[in-house]
Structure 1
Amino acid sequence: MTRFAAPIAEQIWDMKYRFKEADGKALDETVEDTWRRIAKALATVEKDKKGWEDKFYSALEDFKYLPAGRITAGAGTARSVTLFNCFVMGTVPDTMSGIFDALKEAALTMQQGGGIGYDFSTIRPKGATVHGVAADASGPLSFMDVWDAMCRTIMSAGSRRGAMMATMRCDHPDVESFITAKSDAARLRMFNMSVLITDPFMAAVKADKPWDLVFDGKVYQTVQARDLWDRIMQSTYDYAEPGVIFIDRINQANNLSYCETIAATNPCGEQPLPPYGACLLGSINLARLVADPFDDAAKLDGDALTDLVATAVRMMDNVVDASQFPLPEQLAEAQAKRRIGLGVTGLADALLMLGLRYGSEEAAAQTEAWMKQIARAAYLASVDLAKEKGAFPLFEADKFLASGAMQGMDEDVREAIAKHGIRNALLTSIAPTGTISLYAGNVSSGIEPVFAYAYTRKVLQKDGTKTEEEVVDYAVQMWRDLKGDADLPDYFVNAQTLAPLEHVRMQAAAQKWIDSSISKTINCPEDISFDDFKEVYMAAWDQGCKGCTTYRPNDVTGSVLSVSEPESKPLLAQNTAAGGSDSTATQLAEVTSDGDVVYMTEPLDRPQELDGATYKLKWPDSEHAIYITINDIIHHGQRRPFEVFINSKNMEHFAWTVALTRMISAVFRRGGDVTFVVEELKAVFDPRGGAWMQGKYVPSILAAIGGVIEKHMIATGFLAGEGKGLKSDPKADVVSLSGNRGKACTSCGAYELRMVEGCMTCGSCGYSKCG
């Protein structure tokens, strides 16, 4: 018997978390071996190693407690990787040498598998005087471009690209350029971006007052606060970025406000951190703790929850001592404060099992109650650890208890902390759990609503064949197991059918008992009015959230692929149908006329003859030119690239031109939206320097090849123009709620990308830009 609830769960484990030798030989033969490996590694710092190993194993068993992916993949492997997911780096100095020292630190951190966050508000604005060199400053965005190029060159541990968060204060003189930076489709693709919003700014917005843009005491410009707010809103409405972070609220509530100032967050925003701060994440799987699901007596086992939280806190505290750190400053910061981020996943599924509609007032009240129980259990468990092992080194009882968050804590918890201290400065956070939620049986992610109740995907079998598997939400599968073919009740709702303000209600309810922050995406319909869209952010501010991230599908961001039940016949089996057609949205890649789901992942066959064109590329200072031949195929009436041949007499280029020929051709033959090939190639940065070609700086010869491919795509009508996506899907007509086709996953090619907790995530293979 397997512990996995679905084939996708086992596949995610095998790809992401299973310990293997370099040649691919599995050292974790079963998922039980993975749990034992983690438990043993985290018990090494205990006196009673065997006793705690067994206790830790019990918490991990059956996916009840889910450590973050870095821990699951790295603990007990003796690999030189960090077990911490993300870091906020040191304050960026406003000097050339300091900036590039910071860049080096970022590269070393991402090399070990950590995502990073930076506040670029410390760099002088564009046009400011640079004393001693008779020049003007290029501004923070120019240096963000350098960070972006660096990030693209580094593959993080576990085959993950590094993820980055960039923040900028709302009073920085370059904030308007920061806000609109991502309107350029090719710029800053490796960054998530958020504006740091202060309390005085929000007061100025509400009162429609002027707002000074200031650096180093000098006022560079005065704008209307409401106009600047509207610019932020318009960019987010159009491009899904930047997000907003209510930074003063974060610092006021911070338990450590007496010894640190926060100006940035990790890439997904759930961990506001000081310079060199690190986020250590893990989640309680609420879906596994519900007794008597879908029954009048259904309830979450409170005693089991309290016990599980206490064990999880101890495990996470041990990670601080068991982990490696890319930089000594990160180690010192982690050991001085021992902050952890315990959160939840499977919340929406747990609510469904209790018969509660996500987004309702009842569901919000239940969420708040569960979060309070978790907070109490976590803080009391940390007090017990302080009795045994000592409080965190920077603990000062009076100052700690005077912080904004602690003033709302129950009195018995405050008394325990005053008497015994506390082991961990901060304890709770709700992180993105997209991949670990799939691994745990496709439970709902974090505190997000269920995204899709069921969809079909192809699963690669061990013998190389592919089978079609239905991937079903955990709670929906449980309903089927218990109720058979009975229709889903009308309280089954999903991310696409919820009103945006219901999303805000749930985030605000959870935030009351989360001492760090929450990674959550508020899905908005494409046709939401701009005024209603702005109201979402104002509601997040008014209801006490620490930040806000939205996603509105459109031609620029791509649509979330959701297919409603056709009127004539059900899309899936009857037992997946909910109360109304809107609430049966099922995420699909392609739909045939009879409603069957088809994933077009097989390569296209090559005809005997193809039309194409050959281009000559002469790279400066190179003796021989490169010749690029691109052949096209007509597929579903659309001309699209099918194969590439790259040739040169320069033998120095031989190996990589052959590799490019094979890899790009293989991608093209898979079909789908292959424009990402252009984007990836054009962004390759050569540390030896690029070249000026036809009046434009090209960062590498690979980027030049990407430009040639883009030129060909434009000439054949496959691309609408430079830097633009496909005009239409050349594979199939996709039926969707929004009418848009969405974008293909750059990892597996499936049309399964959706915004999850602030990050584009593939529902098919689990790939996420944020790891």
Structure 2
Amino acid sequence: MTSIAPISQQIWDMKYRLKTPDGEPVDRTIEESWQRVARSLAAVEKDPEVWTEKFYSALEDFRYLPAGRIFAGAGTGRQVTLFNCFVMGTIPDDMAGIFEALKEAALTMQQGGGIGYDFSTIRPRGARVHGVGADASGPLSFMDVWDAMCRTIMSAGSRRGAMMATLRCDHPDVEAFIEAKQDPARLRMFNLSVLATDPFMEAVKEDEPWDLVFDGTVYKTIQARELWDKIMAATYAYAEPGVIFIDRINKRNNLHYCESIAATNPCGEQPLPPYGACLLGSINLARFVKNPFEENAELDLDELARVVPLAVRMMDNVVDASKFPLPEQKHEAETKRRIGLGVTGLADALIFCGLRYGSTEAVEATEKWMAALRRHAYLASVDLAKEKGAFPLFDKEKYLASESVKELDRDVQDAIAEHGIRNALLTSIAPTGTISLVADNVSSGLEPVFSFAYDRTVLMPDGSRKTEEVSDYAYRLYRHIKGEEAELTDAFVNAQTLEPKDHVAMQAAVQKYIDSSISKTINVPVDISFEDFKDVYLSAYEQGCKGCTTYRPNEITGSVLSVSDDKKKADAKAPANTNESAPVAAAKTDPALDPHVVYMSEPLDRPEELPGKTYKIKWPESNHAIYITINDVIQAGRRRPFEVFINSKNMEHYAWTLALTRMVSAVFRRGGDVSFVVEELKAVFDPRGGCWMGGKYVPSLLAAIGEVIEQHLHAIGFLKDPDTLEMDFGDKKKAVAVNDGPAAGGPVPNQCPSCASVSLMKQEGCDLCTSCGYSKCG
């Protein structure tokens, strides 16, 4: 069996290995997983046996990594989609259409697809709704409904819970959209991005007025730079919203002549039209370098030329092999046959070649490699068109007039003109965090190495814990070849030690050769000035990027976690630019996790008297009010919740209120961070519908109880209330709302919601746990 690190073996077993319903392995080895995938994708060929062998040769040794949906679902016989994510249909500006769109989203997520939506089509808050004599509640109120739906689907066992919401920079509710996630309990299932148009970016540069408009009516006029500063302030403090340069996306779209794009998939690398589907896979560049760490180290371009066409053919076959949640998605995929082939292991490949990420030499090498990948991908698609036909919406004259197509090599353009092309778009850089961990922990996507070595705490079957080192593939190979005492080269730089300009330079270099877009997180230091932070986004726009996502560690977003003292000593001989801040997995009950939560190491006996408070809920559909009493215990001079009593005169409520009383009280008495109780209750979605309470949509009675418990936790100081942070805007200061602790009712920053280790990092616009492989993005 292929020799891989323990973490890689464990994540393969947990996420991608085929098992029976009883949990018995069907795939005995990872080679058998590759065989399963190869056999499934070759089944649509005229000679399946020949193509099974060829496809296996591409998958072998992790040369080509199909996206997680394909790796987990192909050849299993399960009714699942092999597409990673979708952009849903245009949301109509009427109630029936909105809830039809909600139903489509639920059906898509139920099959494991992440979704993206543009909410710009919904009229703003306060606009008149003709015929009913009411005012509109605005797009954010409906986003709350989507959020509740997503939580419900996740609670039913769906693997993915990622959603993307976009809103145009000229929508009247854009300011509320920018600030939406400053409420730490709101829109937790969404990534948010503002669609920034070229006219808006020009208005920002010139400090011109900017109209907020819907359906031809100007609702408000503000200075463009003021709106830009609001976006930047929210992103500076909360890491959201991101920015998508939507006009550039549409102008450079190969299919500019037959579609308009207004949204992306959850991580932004696939701008898609309504019902567009996202099909992903990555070439693992770390496996293509000859003579690593030597003077003559180089990428094997001949092997790249062999594997890329096989990857393209496999991905094209996925279109025919996959199930689709909706017929509209199937039609969209089959008429355009869009695929997104990208790379992973780029940073490791650069290290093998002695190139420092972001340097001029690294940029030049990256451009050479990406140009080769693009060329081979497009020529492979032309060959497929000769054999199987061009995609149905291919229009030679209009397709060849596309900006990005005109940048292809002349002979490639000529080949397209003569034979057509099988796939409308071919390249994308997707988040590869989990599959890169499986592939012996190579660097992810085009990201720099996040951490060269860190400790991972593993919970054993007998309840004990063991600590094991997890190391980056390039770092581990360097130590194997050069020795444990060898000094690391200057090429060993990580995400935290790089300048933001290095990140932008690499993203811009790769974007030149990518016809879709890129999922990338630009790490910036916590002490970066606000003006310098804004310059990162402007620089990304000026250098041709299609979007920008940053991550600045702070008390709200969570900071990069530190290695133990022993680990720091072990790395003391490394140069200053090596990793000194690798994440350390910690037990959830470690008091060091969060100073804003009172922890207990063991259950407490109940004192004779306890302080407490009783709250009243009047739920519209209930005949009687519900009373919630929460009693607290005093520990170390501070109050923490100890028990809860839920009472109602409505006897229909008796059984579940009694059960909830006992369960929540038991959790409170166990101690630790019990704030997750709030999160779980607030996530409950009643299919009969929720109601509006205090100007906020509450999806169920249980969610309302969760709101009350959260209110009490704030009142007793168990969770901190939001505060304000004064930010320097150059010539003026402005108070920006922040939360000086973990999200109210939410997890500790950097704590994985799956394994509870404090090992969550922000990478490629997504959350990835370096301990268990959990990924918000699948």
| Structure 1 and Structure 2 fold alike (TM over 0.5) | yes
Output the CA distance in 2 between the equivalents of 1:6 and 1:360.
Answer: 30
**How far apart are 1:707 and its partner, in Å?**
3.0
After the TM superposition, which of the residue ranges 280-289 and 316-325 deviates more from structure 2? 280-289
Q: Is the 8 A contact 2:279 2:339 kept in 1?
A: yes
- The aligned counterpart of 1:737 is none
- The aligned counterpart of 1:487 is 487
Q: Is the 8 A contact 1:113 1:158 kept in 2?
A: no
Residue 559 of structure 1 pairs with residue 559 of structure 2:
yes
After the TM superposition, which of the residue ranges 176-185 and 704-713 deviates more from structure 2? 704-713
Offset from partner CA, 1:396-426 (integer Å, 9 cap, x none):
1111111010111100111111111110000
Output the CA distance in 2 between the equivalents of 1:767 and 1:660.
Answer: 31
Q: Is the 8 A contact 2:84 2:278 kept in 1?
A: yes
Output the CA distance in 1 between the equivalents of 2:131 and 2:100.
Answer: 20
Paired residue type of 1:533: F
Output the CA distance in 1 between the equivalents of 2:281 and 2:235.
Answer: 29
Offset from partner CA, 1:52-80 (integer Å, 9 cap, x none):
11111121122211111111111111111
- The aligned counterpart of 2:86 is 87
Residue 586 of structure 1 pairs with residue 582 of structure 2:
yes
Match of 1:8, SS state, is helix
Paired residue type of 2:584: L
Output the CA distance in 2 between the equivalents of 1:457 and 1:645.
Answer: 39
Q: Is the 8 A contact 1:664 1:677 kept in 2?
A: no
User: 1:434–1:152: structure 2 CA closer, same or farther, 3 Å change rule?
Assistant: same
Q: Is the 8 A contact 1:618 1:626 kept in 2?
A: yes
Output the CA distance in 2 between the equivalents of 1:275 and 1:19.
Answer: 33
**How far apart are 1:768 and its partner, in Å?**
2.3
User: 1:224–1:694: structure 2 CA closer, same or farther, 3 Å change rule?
Assistant: closer
* TM-score normalised to structure 1 length: 0.90
**How far apart are 1:457 and its partner, in Å?**
1.3
- The aligned counterpart of 1:747 is 754
- Once the two structures are superposed, the pairs formed by residues 517-666 of structure 1 within 5 Å of their partners are 517-563=517-563, 571=568, 573-574=570-571, 578-580=574-576, 583-589=579-585, 604-607=601-604, 620=619, 621=622, 654=655, 658=659
Gaps of 5+ in 1: 730-739
**How far apart are 1:690 and its partner, in Å?**
4.2
Match of 1:245, SS state, is strand
- The aligned counterpart of 1:401 is 400
Output the CA distance in 2 between the equivalents of 1:697 and 1:166.
Answer: 18
Q: Is the 8 A contact 1:718 1:727 kept in 2?
A: no
Residue 374 of structure 1 pairs with residue 381 of structure 2:
no
Output the CA distance in 2 between the equivalents of 1:756 and 1:416.
Answer: 38
Output the CA distance in 2 between the equivalents of 1:617 and 1:149.
Answer: 24
After the TM superposition, which of the residue ranges 53-62 and 441-450 deviates more from structure 2? 53-62
After the TM superposition, which of the residue ranges 742-751 and 436-445 deviates more from structure 2? 742-751
**How far apart are 1:187 and its partner, in Å?**
1.4
**How far apart are 1:639 and its partner, in Å?**
6.2
- The aligned counterpart of 1:504 is 504
Residue 764 of structure 1 pairs with residue 771 of structure 2:
yes
Match of 1:144, SS state, is helix
- The aligned counterpart of 1:253 is 252
Q: Is the 8 A contact 1:451 1:494 kept in 2?
A: yes
Offset from partner CA, 1:354-386 (integer Å, 9 cap, x none):
111111111111111111111011001111111
Q: Is the 8 A contact 1:453 1:585 kept in 2?
A: no
Output the CA distance in 1 between the equivalents of 2:305 and 2:85.
Answer: 27
Output the CA distance in 2 between the equivalents of 1:499 and 1:25.
Answer: 48
After the TM superposition, which of the residue ranges 459-468 and 247-256 deviates more from structure 2? 459-468
Residue 702 of structure 1 pairs with residue 698 of structure 2:
no
Match of 1:571, SS state, is helix
Match of 2:34, SS state, is helix
Paired residue type of 2:512: K
Paired residue type of 1:171: D
Q: Is the 8 A contact 2:88 2:276 kept in 1?
A: yes
**How far apart are 1:645 and its partner, in Å?**
8.1
Paired residue type of 1:121: S
**How far apart are 1:717 and its partner, in Å?**
2.8
Output the CA distance in 2 between the equivalents of 1:684 and 1:768.
Answer: 22
**How far apart are 1:277 and its partner, in Å?**
0.3
Output the CA distance in 2 between the equivalents of 1:722 and 1:527.
Answer: 21
User: 1:348–1:212: structure 2 CA closer, same or farther, 3 Å change rule?
Assistant: same
**How far apart are 1:435 and its partner, in Å?**
0.9
- Identity of aligned pairs, percent? 66
**How far apart are 1:291 and its partner, in Å?**
1.7
Paired residue type of 2:771: S
Q: Is the 8 A contact 1:151 1:161 kept in 2?
A: no
* TM-score normalised to structure 2 length: 0.89
**How far apart are 1:157 and its partner, in Å?**
8.9
**How far apart are 1:345 and its partner, in Å?**
0.8
Paired residue type of 1:407: K
Paired residue type of 2:570: A
Match of 1:78, SS state, is coil
- The aligned counterpart of 2:389 is 390
**How far apart are 1:313 and its partner, in Å?**
0.4
Output the CA distance in 1 between the equivalents of 2:272 and 2:84.
Answer: 13
Match of 2:568, SS state, is coil
- The aligned counterpart of 2:195 is 196
- Once the two structures are superposed, the pairs formed by residues 119-268 of structure 1 within 5 Å of their partners are 119-155=118-154, 159-268=158-267
Q: Is the 8 A contact 2:604 2:669 kept in 1?
A: no
**How far apart are 1:159 and its partner, in Å?**
3.9
Gaps of 5+ in 2: 594-598, 724-737
Offset from partner CA, 1:624-681 (integer Å, 9 cap, x none):
967666676958x97656787879996866478648855895698584x553432342
Output the CA distance in 1 between the equivalents of 2:665 and 2:546.
Answer: 43
- The aligned counterpart of 1:735 is none
Alignment: residue pair count: 746
- Once the two structures are superposed, the pairs formed by residues 14-29 of structure 1 within 5 Å of their partners are 14-29=13-28
Residue 420 of structure 1 pairs with residue 419 of structure 2:
yes
Q: Is the 8 A contact 2:496 2:525 kept in 1?
A: yes
**How far apart are 1:718 and its partner, in Å?**
2.1
CA RMSD of aligned residues (A): 3.0
- Once the two structures are superposed, the pairs formed by residues 646-725 of structure 1 within 5 Å of their partners are 654=655, 658=659, 669=670, 671=672, 673-690=673-690, 698-721=698-721
